[in-house]
Amino acid sequence: MCAEYQINKQPVEIREWLKRHGESDSSDYRPRVKLFSHAPIVYGEEFRIESMSFSLKPPAMKFATFNARLYDFDDRTHRIVPMGEKRTWKKPLAESRCLVPMTGFVEPIYTGDHAGEMVEFEDTIQDMIFAAGVYEVSVDPKSGANYRGFSIIMDQPNDFIRSVGHHRQPVFLKDSAFEQWLSADLDSAGAMKVLATERLSLSLKVKTGRKMAKGWEKRIAAFQEKAAREAEIEALLKSAGENLTR
């Protein structure tokens, strides 16, 4: 999962990095982005920057979700299901994609040297990287107010993240693919192709973060089960000849 990440850049810095001139939301946000807090995303062919809530809330669902798994396994049909076929993600993947700028992403570690810590991964080459995401505007079922939220697209980890002890990572895109990813002409199948072939190759370092709350050991078994499931999905995708460049 990616339930936290870091963005220590202001909209004007993001705009400068993108080398585009367009609208920028001037909303304040904290560098450490946690669930339901607001953070900037980039969307639309004009590369608009706007602050939205970190957790997409599909119109037909009562609950929000902050991560979109690129591939999942359906136990009922015993097959791999891409996110474009999932009810939650089908419409936003086809119609409302975004880029999520960040300077680092935070993950919980349950095994190895960093067990019991929330660690931060940063790229050693670029001080800002852009994860592929989706957003949606819906109505909060409790308040009746409009809710603007986004989710980060997640996939299996690269070798470095796996060696540190985590089983997923955000999908980061090359800057040469930004325009294509945000194009209104891109359909769901095209989006899946971009996610497979236009990934940014990361050169990561890990920073020791805070300790997890007491009792984290009770979650080790659940983590190992998730990691095993992700490894199974990856093996099935490889056997099917899917491009898994990370």
Residue 198 lies in a domain: yes
Residue 244 lies in a domain: no
First to last CA, the chain: 16
Residue 246 lies in a domain: no
pLDDT single digits (tens) 97-119: 999 999 999 998 888 899 889 99
Using an 8 Å Cβ cutoff, are 192 and 90 in contact? no
Q: Which amino acid is at 30?
A: R
Residue 162 lies in a domain: yes
Residue 53 lies in a domain: yes
Using an 8 Å Cβ cutoff, are 143 and 157 in contact? no
CATH number, domain containing residue 56: 3.90.1680.10
- Please count the structural domains in the chain: 1
What is the domain extent for residue 70? 4-239
Say yes or no to pLDDT of 245 above 60.
Answer: no
Residue 150 and residue 113: Cα distance in Å, rounded? Answer: 32
Residue 85 tokens, joined: 């076929």
Residue 205 tokens, joined: 């370092």
State the pLDDT at residue 181: 98
pTM for the whole thing? 0.88
More confident residue, 187 or 64: 187
**What is the average pLDDT across 11-33?**
81
Residue 15 tokens, joined: 């705009």
**What is the average pLDDT across 135-158?**
84
- Tell me if residue 46 falls in helix, strand or coil: coil
